Amino acid sequence: MDRTLKNCPAPAKLNLFLHVTGRRADGYHLLQSVFQLIDKGDVLHFTVRDDDVIHRSTELTGVPAESDLIVRAARLLQAEAKKQGKVAGAEISIEKNLPMGGGLGGGSSDAASTLLALNHLWQTGLTRSELMALGLQLGADVPFFLFGQNAFAEGIGEALVAVKTPESWFLVIEPGVSVPTQQIFSSTELTRDTKPVKISDFSGAQESFGKNDLQVVAANLFPPIADAIKWLQQYGDARMTGSGACVFCPFKEEQQVDAVLATVPLQWKAWKAKAITHHPLAYLLKS
């Protein structure tokens, strides 16, 4: 039985497009989006404890341990372990690389990797769909990271179908602001009536598809986002991911990204990432 899992990746996602098609009675929005995994993310380390303490050994500025999605994910799974009569505790450390409130799904991905890693270490044996149901209690983005591959998402983001996406490289700009997702969804400026599309519309598109309905709202509220989009649009179809703040542009070749990366104004942090097809921890659920 493994007692440690070191260097667990928690990859980021990009929303290749994001349409808001309606609103549920509880205020959550109905979306259509394609979620793309990329080879950049946070890294988590887990060690099983002999007691039932869940301890986060890394400080995360602005995120107290009890509200950290990692700790909350561990507690949800711990409750399942307890039902099985198990003593489940863990020491967890984090290398936080993704910006918070960046639209890259960092916190959600951390939570998903925690569920995958601890389900393995504690031998709780939950299936993928059971973990996805637990994850949805933490956030609308979490089920996607447990799904394990690029997906066309509907509902509030939890109804997922695997989809093939182009083999792209991305240039990502961090505009230096943190966007509260709830503020964007609750804006009176947000349009909520984009006409629903079919998966085949996306799969059949030769060029960039759709738009991000949250972009206009976020860019108006946070001018650095508008500036980054405007700059990156010189090179292609630049758009915002999720509720922002990060902005990305796809390229076919790595050399093209490198050339543009070298010219990004110094005011922004920018990096390249490659599209990946599967979640790097997906193997933990195969056996």
Work out whether 99 is an interface residue with ligand SUD (CB under 6 A).
no
Which residues ranging from 182 to 211 are in contact with ligand SUD (CB under 6 A)?
A: 182, 185
Residue 250 interacts with, from ligand ADP, ligand SUD, none (CB under 5-8 Å by kind): none
CA distance 280 to 148: 8
> Strand, helix or coil at 70?
helix
CA distance 148 to 283: 9
Beta strands in 113-181 (DSSP E): 151-154, 159-162, 169-174
107 is in an annotated binding site: yes
Residue 70 interacts with, from ligand SUD, ligand ADP, none (CB under 5-8 Å by kind): ligand ADP
Q: Among residues 89 and 99, whose Cβ is nearest to ligand SUD?
A: 99
CA distance 53 to 160: 34
Beta-carbon contacts of residue 229 (< 8 Å; ≥ 6 apart): 215, 219, 238, 239, 240, 247
Give the pair of three-digit tokens for residue 174.
């961090």
Q: Where in the sequence numbering do the catalytic residues fall? A: 13, 141
* Residue corresponding to tokens 């509220």: 221
Work out whether 101 is an interface residue with ligand ADP (CB under 6 A).
yes
CA distance 127 to 141: 18
Q: Among residues 218 and 249, whose Cβ is nearest to ligand SUD?
A: 218
Q: Given candidates 103, 157, 224, 250, which one binds ligand ADP under the rule CB under 6 A?
A: 103
- In total, the chain counts a number of residues equal to 287
Binding mask 235-254 for ligand ADP (x = CB under 6 A): -------xx-----------
Work out whether 218 is an interface residue with ligand ADP (CB under 6 A).
no
Q: Given candidates 11, 99, 103, 210, which one binds ligand SUD under the rule CB under 6 A?
A: 103
Residue 184 has a CB neighbour count (10 Å cut-off) of 23
Beta-carbon contacts of residue 53 (< 8 Å; ≥ 6 apart): 89
The window from 51-59, 101-109, 190-198, 253-261 that contacts ligand SUD (CB under 6 A) reads 101-109
The window from 60-68, 148-156, 158-166, 256-264 that contacts ligand ADP (CB under 6 A) reads 60-68
Residue 110 interacts with, from ligand SUD, ligand ADP, none (CB under 5-8 Å by kind): ligand ADP
Work out whether 69 is an interface residue with ligand ADP (CB under 6 A).
yes
* Residue corresponding to tokens 């509030």: 156
Give the pair of three-digit tokens for residue 219.
């860019």
Using CB under 6 A, list all residues that contact ligand ADP. Answer: 63, 67-70, 98, 100-108, 110, 178, 181, 242-243
Residues flagged as binding site for ATP: 99-109
